């Protein structure tokens, strides 16, 4: 289920947009201000509210690291704010001084795109805050924009109803001219990249005045050609859909509507999971937290609801029994979760009591035990006996073999290390890995996929919160 854990009622006009970073949460409003909150308890930051726009603020978005916040307004500017001080770092004036309706920062924080009421699009170099290129998105207002997870292309949507795909040279790669009758209202890329053969695929969600939420597949061929086709049309809401957002692991898709509802779908299967009814007027904004299972929804009722997802669906597949170790008592912790004392108990059981003091002195816990090598035993732990080192490593290898044969669901094991993942992330090939393992692989393997051996289009790693929660739930089930 999903339950409201907090309601923010600080704005004096419609809430137009909301955005999360890892540590912060931002909202913007027709009252010309932005509000900045700590995302762990939703207390307002000392420098909030931010006042710098002359008219209502339509959109806001964080840079990837959360150091900066961009906002755009009818006053024809995009303002860049420091999240350390709340001060304005830069003022980006849109070419032609047309009201700016939408802005988006690429996931690598290299570019920012702004779209305006006169149909123009501006591409900015984000680090230098310099205008790079401009383009025309048609004769109608550009109201939607989203960068692909690889940061190399972006999509814009307009009140005319079209979706257009652009590269960083402002070349139009593909266009869906009748994506939504009566106009597009929002669009957002899924963070997941699917790769197979000679094709890389992205998913894009869009919504519009036709009361539909649509999921599109965008195929990127290695020849440089892009093709876009409709995958699903979702019709659970009875009035224009104004906002949509994917969760950071790409598993959930939410939308807000003029009918005052928020819908949450299983994004992979296009199945409606929840319909939320807690707003009194149109739901204009929605976004998921990248760091926790939270959904924020903003409305013309001037409020923002923070929802917590508490549901088995969000925590992954059914849980299976896994590895447990019995020592003096029923020790059911995974080896990677062993404390220093657990390691000492294991050494005693295996007849390696002579190593207990040395391991304690070096604070060796379960994770470090599994990573020991001949070199670290000799150079760092100073175990001189070759026979003792080999015996210890054989025992550690037995532990790893038990771990592999213990009934742990295969999806919980990193494809590279074949060990239970502690910090799973999704790479550009669509597979989940242990963060440290895939980061090391990318650094040493020339950016190829460990699973497909094809080039990775980006080194961006997206936290897989659903998988992490499923692993945590499974580990808890072993301890009961």
At residue 336, the pLDDT reads 65
**CA distance linking residue 473 with residue 457, whole number of Å:** 33
Is 323 domain-assigned?
A: no
Domain shared by 352 and 459, yes or no: no
The total of structural domains in the chain comes to 3
Do the strands 57-62 and 432-434 form a parallel or antiparallel pair, or are they unpaired?
Answer: unpaired
415: in domain: yes
In a domain, 78, yes or no: yes
- Residue 50 dihedral angles phi and psi, to the nearest 5°: -95, 125
Q: How far apart are CA 460 and CA 186, in angstroms?
A: 24
429 in the same domain as 349:
no
- How sure is the predictor about 81, in pLDDT bands with cuts at 50, 70 and 90? very high
* Confidence (pTM): 0.68
Q: What is the CATH number of the domain that holds 18?
A: 2.130.10.10
Considering the domain architecture, whether residues 151 and 219 belong to the same structural domain is answered as yes
Confidence of residue 35 (pLDDT cuts 50, 70, 90): very high
Across the chain, what does the average pLDDT equal?
87
Q: Which string of DSSP letters, residue by residue, matches 185-244?
A: EEEEEEEEEEEETTEEEEEEEEEETTS-EEEEEEEEETTS-EEEEEEEEE---SS-EEEE
Q: pLDDT band for 319, please (50, 70, 90 cuts).
A: very low
pLDDT for the residue numbered 108: 87
For residues 104 and 156, state if they share a domain.
Answer: yes
Residue 111 lies in a domain: yes
Separation of alpha carbons 24 and 248, rounded Å? 15
| Coil/strand/helix, residue 374 | helix
Give 194's pLDDT tier (boundaries 50, 70, 90).
Answer: confident
Q: Report the run of H or E that residue 401 belongs to, with start and end.
A: helix 386-404
- Best mean pLDDT range from 8-17, 306-315, 413-422: 8-17
Does 473 lie in the same domain as 360?
no
Higher-pLDDT residue of 292, 421: 421
CATH number at residue 359: 1.10.150.50
For the segment 7-22, what is each residue's pLDDT rounded down to a tens digit? 999 999 999 999 999 8
Q: Are strands 283-288 and 226-234 parallel, antiparallel or unpaired?
A: unpaired
Residue showing tokens 């003091």 = 357
327: in domain: no
**For 247-261, how does the pLDDT look when each residue is reduced to its tens digit (9 = 90+)?**
988 999 999 999 999
Average pLDDT over every residue of 233-242:
97
What are the tens digits of pLDDT across the range 106-115?
Answer: 988 999 999 9
Q: Are residues 341 and 462 in the same domain?
A: no
Q: Given this model, what pLDDT does residue 332 score?
A: 37
How far is CA 194 from each of CA 88, 427, 428, rounded to the nearest angstrom? 38, 10, 7
Whether the CB-CB separation of 362 and 381 falls below 8 Å is answered with yes
Do the domain assignments include residue 316?
A: no
Kindly state whether residue 326 falls inside one of the protein's structural domains: no
Say yes or no: 142 and 254 in one domain: yes
User: Are 236 and 365 members of one domain?
Assistant: no
User: Do 8 and 155 sit in the same domain of this protein?
Assistant: yes
Q: Are residues 182 and 219 in the same domain?
A: yes
pLDDT band, residue 136 (cuts 50/70/90) = confident
Sign, CA torsion 312/315/316/319? negative
Q: Give SS3 for 440.
A: helix
Which residues constitute the domain of residue 352?
Answer: 335-404
Q: How far apart are CA 101 and CA 41, in angstroms?
A: 30
Q: What is the CATH number of the domain that holds 419?
A: 3.30.40.10
Last residue of a domain, one of 404, 423, 442: 404
Please report which confidence band the pLDDT of residue 454 belongs to, taking 50, 70 and 90 as the band edges: confident
Coil, helix or strand for 89? strand
3-class DSSP state of 302: coil
Residue 139: count other Cβ atoms within 10 Å of its Cβ. 10
- Is 80 exceeded by the pLDDT of residue 262? yes
Mean pLDDT for 402-418 is: 70
Residue 121 clears pLDDT 50, i.e. is over it: yes
Q: Is the pLDDT of residue 64 over 80?
A: yes
Other CB atoms closer than 10 Å to residue 263's CB: what's the count?
Answer: 23
Confidence (pLDDT) at 427: 85
If pLDDT is split at 50, 70 and 90, which confidence band does 479 have? low
> How many Å apart are CA 45 and CA 82, to the nearest integer?
13
Nearest CA-CA partner of 357 in 343, 371, 368 = 343
Confidence class of residue 331 from pLDDT cuts 50, 70 and 90? very low
Please give the C-alpha separations between residue 264 and each of 24, 252, 277, 423, in angstroms, as whole numbers: 23, 7, 12, 25
Domain presence at residue 328 = no
Neighbour-count burial for 354-375, b at 16+ CB within 10 Å, e otherwise? ebeeebeeeebbbebbbebeee
112 plus 153 within the same structural domain: yes
CA 447/CA 81 separation, integer angstroms: 34
- State percent of the chain over pLDDT 90: 56
**Do 297 and 20 form a contact (C-beta atoms < 8 A)?**
no
Nearest to 39 by CA among 22, 56, 64: 22
Give the residue among 233, 314, 240 at the shortest CA–CA distance from 273: 314
User: 55 and 75: one domain?
Assistant: yes
């Amino acid at each position: 289920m999903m339950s409201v854990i907090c309601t923010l009622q600080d704005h004096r006009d419609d809430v137009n947009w909301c955005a999360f970073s890892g540590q912060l949460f931002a909202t913007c409003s027709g009252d010309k201000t932005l509000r900045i909150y700590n995302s762990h308890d939703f207390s307002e930051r000392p420098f909030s509210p931010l006042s710098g726009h002359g008219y209502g603020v339509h959109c806001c978005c964080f840079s990837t690291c959360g150091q900066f916040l961009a906002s755009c307004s009818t006053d024809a500017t995009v303002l860049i704010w420091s999240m350390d001080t709340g001060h304005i770092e830069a003022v980006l004036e849109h070419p032609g001084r047309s009201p700016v309706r939408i802005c988006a920062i690429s996931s690598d924080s290299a570019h920012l795109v702004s779209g305006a009421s006169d149909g123009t699009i501006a591409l900015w170099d984000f680090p230098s805050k310099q205008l790079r290129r401009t383009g025309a998105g048609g004769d109608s207002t550009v109201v939607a924009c989203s960068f692909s997870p690889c940061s190399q292309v972006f999509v814009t949507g307009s009140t005319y109803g079209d979706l257009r795909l652009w590269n960083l040279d402002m070349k139009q790669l593909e266009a869906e001219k009748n994506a939504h009758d009566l106009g597009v209202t929002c669009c957002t890329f899924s963070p997941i990249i699917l790769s197979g053969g000679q094709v890389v695929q992205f998913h894009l969600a869009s919504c519009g005045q036709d009361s539909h939420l649509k999921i599109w597949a965008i195929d990127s061929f290695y020849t440089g050609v892009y093709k876009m086709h409709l995958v699903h049309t979702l019709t659970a809401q009875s009035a224009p859909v104004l906002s949509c957002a994917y969760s950071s692991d790409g598993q959930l898709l939410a939308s807000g509507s003029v009918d005052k509802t928020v819908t949450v779908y299983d994004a992979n299967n296009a199945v409606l999971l929840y319909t939320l009814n807690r707003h009194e007027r149109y739901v204009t904004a929605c976004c998921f937290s990248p760091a926790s299972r939270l959904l924020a929804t903003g409305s013309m009722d001037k409020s923002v609801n923070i929802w917590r997802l508490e549901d088995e669906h969000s925590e992954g597949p059914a849980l299976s029994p896994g590895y447990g170790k019995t020592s003096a008592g029923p020790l059911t912790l995974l080896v990677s979760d062993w404390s220093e004392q657990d390691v000492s108990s294991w050494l005693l059981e295996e007849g390696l009591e002579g190593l207990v003091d040395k391991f304690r002195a070096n604070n060796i816990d379960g994770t470090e035990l599994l990573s020991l090598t001949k070199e670290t035993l000799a150079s760092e732990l100073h175990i001189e006996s070759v026979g003792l080192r080999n015996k210890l490593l054989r025992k550690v290898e037995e532990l790893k073999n038990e771990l592999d044969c213990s009934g742990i669901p295969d999806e919980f094991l990193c494809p590279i290390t074949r060990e239970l993942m502690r910090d799973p992330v999704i790479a550009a090939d669509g597979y989940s890995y242990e963060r440290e393992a895939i980061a090391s692989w990318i650094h040493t393997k020339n950016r190829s996929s460990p699973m497909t051996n094809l080039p990775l289009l980006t080194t961006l790693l997206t936290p897989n919160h659903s998988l992490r929660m499923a692993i945590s739930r499974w580990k808890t089930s072993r301890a009961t």
